[in-house]
Amino acid sequence: MDDLDAIDARILTVLQKEGRITNADLSDRVNLSPSACHRRVQRLEEVGLIAGYVALLDARRMGRPTTVFVEITLQGQTDEVLDAFEREVARIPDLLECHLMAGTADYLLKLVVRDTEDYARIHRQYLSRLPGVSQMRSSFSLKTVVKTTAISV
């Protein structure tokens, strides 16, 4: 956004790390009056820079310590094939992300599962039934080295 100034950037930086911060505390952190801070946050929400607020759950403590990345290659790339795949993939439980890719795979999925047996169940019930798939490669994460939801402002 072209009209993002230094105060907006500080607001976004703080909110990405502390989404539950009070407006009073946020205004102190960015050196702004509470009313001006509130107006800026509302504007950032209205223009879509702040897409929403969430609670980030700890997958391990939620009983899903295993992250699996699945590369999917489709039989073709017509609009019908892509649309059918995207409709069905959105129904998979424990799917965190699905990306249309450029490169060797057409799609990259990120799932969190309890263990390899849980992944096998999801594979049998959902992944193997996805339309238009010609090849699927699964990779299990051994360790998360860097994980953030914060975008540099």
Judge whether 19 lies within some domain.
Answer: yes
pLDDT tens string for the chain (153 positions)?
Answer: 668 999 999 999 999 999 999 999 999 999 999 999 999 999 999 999 999 999 999 999 999 999 999 999 999 999 999 999 999 999 999 999 999 999 999 999 999 999 999 999 999 999 999 999 999 999 999 999 999 999 999
The pTM is what? 0.90
Say yes or no: 88 and 121 in one domain: yes
Say yes or no: 94 and 134 in one domain: yes
Residues 76/26, Cβ–Cβ less than 8 Å: no
Q: Which of 107, 64, 103, 63 is nearest to 82 (CA)?
A: 107
Number of domains in the chain: 2
Residues 82/90, Cβ–Cβ less than 8 Å: no
